[in-house]
Amino acid sequence: MSIQIKQISKQFGDFQALKPLDLTINEGELVGLLGPSGSGKTTLLRIIAGLETADQGQILFSGKDVTNLHVRDRKVGFVFQHYALFRHMTVAENIAFGLDVLPKKQRPTKATIKQQVAELLDKVQLSHLANRYPAQLSGGQKQRIALARALAMQPRVLLLDEPFGALDAKVRKELRRWLRNLHDELGFTSVFVTHDQEEALEVSDRVVVMSQGQIEQEATPQDLYQQPASRFVYDFLGGVNVFEGEAASLKSNRLEQGKAWVAFPDGHKAEAGQLYLRSHELSLSNQPSAIAHLPLKIKAVSLIGAEVRVELEPLGWQSQDLWDITISHSEYNLWQPQRGNTCYAHPQAGQLFASNTEHQPRPINWQQGFALIKTA
Amino acid sequence: MSNHKTSLSKVSHQQRIGDQPWLRRLLIGLAFLLVGSLLVLPLIAIFAQALSAGLNIFWVNLSDKYTLHAIGLTLLVAALTVPLNLVFGVFLAWLVTRFEFPGRRILMTLIDIPFAVSPVVAGLMYLLLYGSNGWVGGWLMENDLQLMFAWPGIVMVTVFITCPFVARELIPLMQQQGSSEEEAALSLGASGWQMFRRVTLPNIKWALLYGVVLTNARAVGEFGAVSVVSGNIRGETNTLPLHVELLYQDYNLVGAFTSATLLAALALLTLVVKTFLEWRQQQSAS
């Protein structure tokens, strides 16, 4: 079932939770709504489910207007962040609930319900817990039961509100792969809300980034990562270092702040703005280069994991946050930077957001321009 | 830093206040003395006085026609008050915990009025409003409806006095439980009634019963407000607590205490049920 959202808006008192927005979700798609808290993503999800009513606008399921349809008649599966299992019912009773409350004429026989519950429990691999109560389950188990309960009604749309938010990191990873597989197997349309960019990028077919009740960008995970449309998206995806500067008066391709500067490759003119550099799009050395003079002082070095993470503080120039740069272990072994050392960062690729516009950023790639030339 | 640590460990080796054996014994002894002389002894005295003239007289007093009528009226008041306040309390708790609307906070404060107002004042308010000279009472008189100095008035003030008990028990619990289970039930296709009966009610049942027990105890035992609106007509508008006072004023001590044993027995029963319900509530919460 496809979902069409037309000019939906919502206000809570003085707070504009959603500004009028449009969004189309295709049949069989898995869409992640990504944003910080207060961005309106959960409100949007609850409006799609019918748990909240929109002030204005329309919701269509497969072209049919469901704006005024009650939640019980929309036949969507909804999974809550804190599971919302019925605490006084066993796992089996929880899963059977949707079938049990059907009107007599449509309700399957007791034996059929029992069999369907058994099948669902099998699907979520928790058959041995059928007679337990929710309080006796772990968080991951609870969420799988909540999913099984929603799936019992064979919904064509599955909505998940921060489904893995309350789980620990390992279980979360496992469950989101499992959700992806389940989605592919059963072919329903899914929308899930998350504030975890890694989760959104890993699971979704398409990511919708929201902020302050608006859609900032909708794109595939690849496009989103490679071409963030705004400063907000860039910031929110994380791991980014910002160099703010003015165009140098003498050398037109230099962005400078005090004594620190970055030289753009041939064909790029510098203009006042912010240069966004991801932590893996920079290299470090103990000498400045022809393309950048960005002195930094090492605050911390973390060798754990596949890469070496270095935390740095600007020396003689300003940045709102500390810089994070990841380098390979072999790069690290070349000169073994230590805490307290002074070093220099060299950009390889980045995006320039010009100060005077809110438009698309300008991608800048140094490797095309010229190779790293180290000056003595 | 190290200084701080040593001073902390010193403190933990010191005895806590009240750890000396003699002080502990003194305090425990004092507590028992107070509970004994203020609570237990009077309770025993009621039963001792009631039975002082022998079991026979006790039965005679108990089967007195006015006493029987007082028992009947008290039960009637409780039987009407409890269901009314049960429904009212559930509705109110539902309203203030599940919906956001202007005036919600004020409403939650207003629930406590019966606790804040002296019962006598509550009785007077009703008398002024619904009595024959009152704003509404005049109109009622013209239509031949008597509320004050009759059983409907007694029920009205009792409902007023006891209306917070159920709501006060439910509101914190329902706030803490949140509405997501109910939303889950709706999203699975349950009707409003199915949601209430199969999800909401099982979740609140122990707190609800607890509220009902408290409501019942208060409805049966209420004196102040009822005494203002009842008119103390023997065999007509006399509830059990009022009856006790009337007998006492008649110098019928044994009779007064006999009726009092009924109220005391009910109080003891309430305590037992209340303790059980509290225990059940803790069980279901964990």
pLDDT of residue B145 exceeding 90, the answer is no
pTM of the prediction? 0.80
- Work out the end-to-end distance of chain A between its first and last CA atoms, rounded to an integer number of angstroms: 64
Number of other CB atoms surrounding residue B180 within 10 Å: 17
Helix (H, G, I), strand (E, B) or coil at A7: strand
The answer to whether B166 and B94 have CB atoms below 8 angstroms apart is: no
- Give φ, ψ of A219 to 5 degrees: -165, 165
Distance CA B264, CA B257 (A): 10
B190 vs A contacts (CB less than 8 Å): 72, 97, 101
Contact A74/A66 with Cβ under 8 angstroms? yes
Q: Mean pLDDT across chain B, nearest whole number?
A: 89
What is the length of chain B? 286
Q: Which residue of A has its CA nearest to B181?
A: A84
User: Residue A287: what pLDDT?
Assistant: 85
The angle at the Cα of A133, spanning A127 to A134, to the nearest 5 degrees, equals 95
B40: confidence class by pLDDT, cuts 50, 70, 90: very high
Distance from CA of A12 to the nearest CA of B (A): 10
Residues facing B225 on adjacent strands: none
CB-CB under 8 Å, B191 with A78? no
Burial class for B28, CB neighbours closer than 10 Å (0-12, 13-18, 19+):
exposed
pLDDT (tens digit per residue) in B91-105: 999 999 999 899 999
pLDDT of residue B286: 59
Helices (H) and strands (E) in chain A, counts: 11, 22
Amino acid at A289: S
Q: Nearest residue of A to residue B194 by CA position? A: A101
The whole-number pLDDT of residue A371 equals: 47
The tokens describing A145, both together, are 């039961």
Q: Which residues neighbour A218 within 8 Å (Cβ) at sequence distance 6 or greater? A: A23, A206, A207, A208, A209
Q: What is the pLDDT of residue B85?
A: 96
Quote the CA–CA distance of A23 and B279 in Å, as a whole number: 51
| Burial class of residue A347, CB neighbours in 10 A (0-12, 13-18, 19+) | buried
Residue B10 has pLDDT above 60, yes or no: no
Q: Which residue has the higher pLDDT, B279 or B89?
A: B89
**Closest Cβ opposite residue B184 in set A78, A88, A135:** A78
The mean pLDDT of B168-178, rounded to a whole number, is 94
Tokens representing residue B277 in the block: 């319900």
Which residue in A71, A94, A151, A154 has the most chain B C-beta atoms within 10 A of its own C-beta, making it the best mutation to test that interface? Answer: A71
pLDDT 10s digits, B115-137: 999 999 999 999 999 988 888 88
- Verify whether the Cβ–Cβ distance B189 to A51 is below 8 Å: no
Return the CATH number of B54-285, one of 2.40.37.10, 1.20.1440.130, 3.30.70.2190, 1.10.3720.10: 1.10.3720.10
Closest residue by Cα to residue A291 from A262, A267, A268: A262
Return the residue of B nearest to A86 by Cα: B181
User: Residue B31 and residue B25: Cα distance in Å, rounded?
Assistant: 10
The span from the CA of A127 to the CA of B125, in Å, is 63
* Contact of A74 with B189, CB cutoff 8 Å: no
Instruction: Give me the pLDDT at residue A305, please.
Output: 85
State the CB neighbour count (10 A cutoff) for residue B42. Answer: 10
Cβ neighbors of B10 (< 8 A, separation 6 or more) are none
pLDDT of B19 over the 80 cut:
no
Question: What is the full per-residue pLDDT of chain A (376 aa) written as tens digits?
Answer: 899 999 999 999 889 999 999 999 999 999 999 999 989 999 999 999 999 999 999 999 999 999 999 999 999 999 999 999 999 999 999 999 999 999 999 999 999 999 999 999 998 889 999 999 999 999 999 999 999 999 999 999 999 999 988 888 888 888 888 899 999 998 999 999 999 998 999 999 999 999 999 999 999 999 998 888 888 898 888 788 999 988 887 777 889 898 899 988 877 788 888 899 998 888 888 888 888 899 999 999 998 888 999 999 999 898 888 999 999 998 888 888 889 999 999 998 888 888 877 667 888 888 754 444 444 3
pLDDT at B90 over 90: yes
- Where is average pLDDT lowest: B109-123, B139-153, B175-189? B139-153
Instruction: Write down the pLDDT at residue A364.
Output: 86
Q: Which of B104, B188, B197 to mutate to test the interface with A (most CBs of A within 10 A)?
A: B188
A176 and A194 Cβ atoms separated by less than 8 Å: no
In the predicted model, what is the mean pLDDT of residues B42-54?
Answer: 90
- Range B206-229 average pLDDT: 93
Contacts of A149 in chain B (CB under 8 A): 184, 188
pLDDT value at position A370?
Answer: 47
Q: Where are the domains positioned within chain B?
A: 1-50, 54-285
Chain A partners within 8 Å of B185 (Cβ): 86, 97, 101
How many percent of chain B have pLDDT more than 70? 93
Q: For an interface test with A, which of B179, B182, B187 has the most A Cβ atoms less than 10 Å from its Cβ?
A: B187
Q: Do B184 and A102 touch (CB under 8 A)?
A: no
| Cβ-contact B183, B98 below 8 angstroms | no
Ramachandran bin of A14, using left for φ above 0, alpha for ψ from -120 to 50, beta for the remaining angles: alpha
Token readout for A326 is: 């990841």
Question: What is the secondary structure of A89-149 as a DSSP string?
Answer: S-HHHHHHHHHHTS-TTTPPPHHHHHHHHHHHHHHTT-GGGTT--GGGS-HHHHHHHHHHH
Is the pLDDT at B152 greater than 60? The verdict is: yes
